[in-house]
Protein backbone atom coordinates (compact mmCIF):
# COMPACT_ATOMS: atom_id res chain seq x y z
CA UNK A 1 0.00 0.00 0.00
CA UNK A 2 1.27 3.43 -0.89
CA UNK A 3 0.93 6.01 1.81
CA UNK A 4 2.29 9.46 1.14
CA UNK A 5 5.00 10.53 3.55
CA UNK A 6 4.73 13.95 5.17
CA UNK A 7 6.74 16.57 3.29
CA UNK A 8 10.19 17.06 4.80
CA UNK A 9 10.62 20.08 7.02
CA UNK A 10 13.08 22.77 5.97
CA UNK A 11 15.62 23.09 8.78
CA UNK A 12 18.34 25.73 9.02
CA UNK A 13 21.35 24.81 11.15
CA UNK A 14 24.37 27.03 11.79
CA UNK A 15 27.64 25.48 12.89
CA UNK A 16 31.28 26.17 13.60
CA UNK A 17 33.16 29.32 14.50
CA UNK A 18 33.43 32.46 12.41
CA UNK A 19 36.67 34.09 11.30
CA UNK A 20 36.82 37.85 11.71
CA UNK A 21 39.59 39.35 9.56
CA UNK A 22 42.18 41.72 10.98
CA UNK A 23 43.85 42.16 7.60
CA UNK A 24 43.94 39.95 4.45
CA UNK A 25 45.97 37.20 6.18
CA UNK A 26 45.00 37.38 9.87
CA UNK A 27 41.80 36.75 11.80
CA UNK A 28 40.19 36.50 15.24
CA UNK A 29 38.24 33.33 16.03
CA UNK A 30 37.37 30.77 18.74
CA UNK A 31 37.81 27.04 19.47
CA UNK A 32 34.45 25.81 18.14
CA UNK A 33 34.90 22.56 16.17
CA UNK A 34 31.46 22.58 14.54
CA UNK A 35 30.74 19.06 15.79
CA UNK A 36 27.46 19.90 17.50
CA UNK A 37 25.88 21.44 14.39
CA UNK A 38 27.26 18.83 11.98
CA UNK A 39 26.04 15.86 14.04
CA UNK A 40 22.61 17.48 14.31
CA UNK A 41 22.53 18.12 10.55
CA UNK A 42 23.25 14.44 9.93
CA UNK A 43 20.65 13.32 12.46
CA UNK A 44 17.89 15.42 10.85
CA UNK A 45 18.94 14.31 7.38
CA UNK A 46 18.78 10.67 8.50
CA UNK A 47 15.23 11.37 9.71
CA UNK A 48 14.29 12.47 6.18
CA UNK A 49 14.30 16.23 6.73
CA UNK A 50 15.68 18.92 4.40
CA UNK A 51 18.68 20.46 6.12
CA UNK A 52 20.52 23.61 5.09
CA UNK A 53 23.78 23.82 7.00
CA UNK A 54 25.37 27.28 7.15
CA UNK A 55 28.88 26.56 8.28
CA UNK A 56 31.80 28.65 9.40
CA UNK A 57 35.32 27.30 8.72
CA UNK A 58 35.72 23.78 10.21
CA UNK A 59 37.84 20.70 9.52
CA UNK A 60 34.75 18.48 9.28
CA UNK A 61 33.27 16.76 6.25
CA UNK A 62 29.64 17.73 5.86
CA UNK A 63 27.17 14.84 5.85
CA UNK A 64 26.61 13.65 2.26
CA UNK A 65 23.53 15.09 0.55
CA UNK A 66 23.12 17.92 3.03
CA UNK A 67 23.09 21.36 1.43
CA UNK A 68 26.00 23.34 2.85
CA UNK A 69 26.63 27.06 2.57
CA UNK A 70 30.21 27.84 3.58
CA UNK A 71 30.89 31.22 5.16
CA UNK A 72 33.84 32.84 6.89
CA UNK A 73 32.59 35.83 8.87
CA UNK A 74 29.61 36.56 11.10
CA UNK A 75 28.33 39.05 8.54
CA UNK A 76 28.47 36.38 5.83
CA UNK A 77 26.73 33.89 8.15
CA UNK A 78 24.05 36.46 8.88
CA UNK A 79 23.48 37.16 5.18
CA UNK A 80 23.40 33.45 4.27
CA UNK A 81 20.86 32.69 7.01
CA UNK A 82 18.58 35.54 5.94
CA UNK A 83 18.65 34.23 2.36
CA UNK A 84 17.75 30.71 3.50
CA UNK A 85 14.55 31.93 5.25
CA UNK A 86 11.74 30.94 5.36
CA UNK A 87 12.34 27.68 7.22
CA UNK A 88 10.22 25.58 9.58
CA UNK A 89 12.91 25.20 12.24
CA UNK A 90 16.08 27.23 12.89
CA UNK A 91 18.82 25.80 15.09
CA UNK A 92 21.73 28.11 15.81
CA UNK A 93 24.65 25.95 16.93
CA UNK A 94 27.42 28.21 15.60
CA UNK A 95 29.84 29.98 17.92
CA UNK A 96 29.46 33.32 16.18
CA UNK A 97 32.12 35.90 17.04
CA UNK A 98 30.43 38.61 19.04
CA UNK A 99 32.77 41.26 17.63
CA UNK A 100 34.55 42.10 14.38
CA UNK A 101 37.35 44.52 13.53
CA UNK A 102 35.85 47.83 12.46
CA UNK A 103 38.33 48.82 9.76
CA UNK A 104 40.06 46.00 7.86
CA UNK A 105 42.93 47.23 5.68
CA UNK A 106 43.33 45.93 2.10
CA UNK A 107 47.00 45.11 2.63
CA UNK A 108 48.87 43.11 5.28
CA UNK A 109 49.68 45.26 8.30
CA UNK A 110 53.41 45.73 8.86
CA UNK A 111 55.26 45.98 12.15
CA UNK A 112 57.30 48.80 10.64
CA UNK A 113 54.11 50.86 10.24
CA UNK A 114 53.01 50.42 13.86
CA UNK A 115 55.41 51.48 16.53
CA UNK A 116 54.44 50.28 20.01
CA UNK A 117 51.14 48.55 20.79
CA UNK A 118 48.64 47.98 18.00
CA UNK A 119 45.07 48.98 18.76
CA UNK A 120 42.12 47.39 17.06
CA UNK A 121 38.59 48.70 17.39
CA UNK A 122 36.03 45.92 17.64
CA UNK A 123 32.36 46.47 16.89
CA UNK A 124 29.47 44.10 17.60
CA UNK A 125 28.27 41.58 15.07
CA UNK A 126 24.55 41.06 14.50
CA UNK A 127 22.94 38.43 16.75
CA UNK A 128 21.64 35.99 14.15
CA UNK A 129 19.60 33.93 16.61
CA UNK A 130 17.86 36.98 18.08
CA UNK A 131 17.14 38.41 14.65
CA UNK A 132 15.62 35.20 13.30
CA UNK A 133 13.56 34.73 16.48
CA UNK A 134 12.17 38.26 16.08
CA UNK A 135 11.83 38.30 12.31
CA UNK A 136 8.68 40.21 11.36
CA UNK A 137 7.99 38.25 8.18
CA UNK A 138 9.68 34.86 8.41
CA UNK A 139 9.81 33.92 12.10
CA UNK A 140 10.20 30.10 12.00
CA UNK A 141 7.71 28.09 14.10
CA UNK A 142 10.57 26.80 16.21
CA UNK A 143 13.80 28.68 16.94
CA UNK A 144 16.50 27.01 19.01
CA UNK A 145 19.70 28.46 20.44
CA UNK A 146 22.61 27.00 22.36
CA UNK A 147 24.38 28.21 25.46
CA UNK A 148 27.78 26.94 26.53
CA UNK A 149 28.14 27.98 30.15
CA UNK A 150 30.66 27.50 32.91
CA UNK A 151 28.42 28.75 35.75
CA UNK A 152 24.84 29.80 36.57
CA UNK A 153 23.51 27.66 33.75
CA UNK A 154 19.85 28.16 34.61
CA UNK A 155 20.03 31.95 35.01
CA UNK A 156 22.00 32.39 31.80
CA UNK A 157 19.78 30.08 29.78
CA UNK A 158 16.60 31.80 30.96
CA UNK A 159 18.06 35.22 30.26
CA UNK A 160 18.89 34.13 26.72
CA UNK A 161 15.40 32.72 26.14
CA UNK A 162 13.91 36.03 27.20
CA UNK A 163 16.33 38.41 25.54
CA UNK A 164 16.60 36.64 22.20
CA UNK A 165 12.97 35.45 22.15
CA UNK A 166 13.81 31.96 20.95
CA UNK A 167 11.75 28.91 21.96
CA UNK A 168 14.46 26.60 23.27
CA UNK A 169 17.87 27.07 24.76
CA UNK A 170 20.04 23.99 24.85
CA UNK A 171 22.63 24.56 27.53
CA UNK A 172 25.72 22.59 28.37
CA UNK A 173 28.13 22.94 31.24
CA UNK A 174 31.53 23.36 29.63
CA UNK A 175 33.47 24.01 32.84
CA UNK A 176 36.79 22.16 32.79
CA UNK A 177 35.81 19.59 35.46
CA UNK A 178 33.08 18.15 33.19
CA UNK A 179 35.56 17.18 30.44
CA UNK A 180 32.85 18.05 27.90
CA UNK A 181 34.72 20.61 25.80
CA UNK A 182 36.62 18.63 23.18
CA UNK A 183 35.49 15.34 24.80
CA UNK A 184 33.39 12.44 23.49
CA UNK A 185 30.37 12.98 25.70
CA UNK A 186 27.99 15.78 26.48
CA UNK A 187 25.27 16.52 28.99
CA UNK A 188 22.48 18.87 28.08
CA UNK A 189 19.92 20.89 29.90
CA UNK A 190 17.03 21.89 27.69
CA UNK A 191 15.04 25.03 28.54
CA UNK A 192 11.74 25.33 26.74
CA UNK A 193 9.22 28.17 26.66
CA UNK A 194 5.51 27.52 26.95
CA UNK A 195 2.97 30.19 26.28
CA UNK A 196 0.98 29.21 29.38
CA UNK A 197 3.28 27.98 32.12
CA UNK A 198 6.26 30.14 31.19
CA UNK A 199 9.11 27.69 30.80
CA UNK A 200 10.28 24.23 31.73
CA UNK A 201 13.61 22.54 32.11
CA UNK A 202 14.86 19.03 31.46
CA UNK A 203 18.29 17.66 32.32
CA UNK A 204 19.36 14.94 29.92
CA UNK A 205 21.58 12.01 30.92
CA UNK A 206 25.22 12.27 29.93
CA UNK A 207 25.92 10.38 26.70
CA UNK A 208 28.05 10.21 23.54
CA UNK A 209 27.68 13.31 21.36
CA UNK A 210 26.57 11.33 18.29
CA UNK A 211 23.78 9.59 20.19
CA UNK A 212 22.75 12.85 21.76
CA UNK A 213 22.32 14.48 18.34
CA UNK A 214 20.00 11.71 17.27
CA UNK A 215 17.84 11.92 20.44
CA UNK A 216 17.85 15.70 20.19
CA UNK A 217 16.67 15.67 16.57
CA UNK A 218 13.83 13.27 17.47
CA UNK A 219 12.83 15.35 20.44
CA UNK A 220 12.85 18.57 18.39
CA UNK A 221 10.65 17.02 15.68
CA UNK A 222 8.22 15.67 18.26
CA UNK A 223 7.94 19.09 19.87
CA UNK A 224 7.48 20.73 16.46
CA UNK A 225 4.73 18.31 15.49
CA UNK A 226 2.87 19.04 18.72
CA UNK A 227 2.96 22.75 17.89
CA UNK A 228 0.81 22.30 14.80
Tell me the pairing of strands 10-15 and 89-92: parallel
| C-beta closer to ligand C5P: residue 63 or 145 | 145
Binding mask 39-78 for ligand C5P (x = CB under 6 A): -----------------------------------x----
Pick between residue 8 and residue 175 the one whose CB is nearest to ligand C5P.
175
Element (H, E) at 211: helix 209-227
Closest CA to 66 of 89, 42, 101: 42
Site map (CB under 6 A) of ligand C5P, residues 174-213, x = contact: ----------------------------------------
Q: Give whole-number Cα distances, 88 to 14, 171, 178, in Å.
A: 14, 22, 34
C-beta of 154: minimal distance to ligand C5P in Å? Answer: 14
Q: What length does the chain have? A: 228
Residue 30 appears among annotated catalytic residues: yes
Residues near 40 by Cβ (< 8 Å), separated by ≥ 6? 13, 15, 91, 93, 213, 216, 217
Contact criterion met (CB below 8 Å) for 23 and 104 = yes
When binding is defined by CB under 6 A, the residue of 11, 51, 142, 147 that contacts ligand C5P is 147
The answer to the question of residue 89 lying near ligand C5P (CB under 6 A) is: no
Q: Which residues define the annotated binding site?
A: 98, 108, 126-129, 146, 160, 164
- What residues are annotated to the active site? 30
Task: Using CB under 6 A, list all residues that contact ligand C5P.
Answer: 14, 74, 92-94, 96, 98, 125, 127-129, 145-147, 160
Amino acid sequence: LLRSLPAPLRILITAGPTHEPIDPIRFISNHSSGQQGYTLAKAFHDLGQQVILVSGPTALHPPPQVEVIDVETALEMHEACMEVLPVDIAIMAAAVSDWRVQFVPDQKMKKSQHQGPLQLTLIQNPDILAEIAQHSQYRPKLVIGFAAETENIEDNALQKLKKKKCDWIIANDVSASTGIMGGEENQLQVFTTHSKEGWSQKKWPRMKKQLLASYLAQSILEYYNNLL
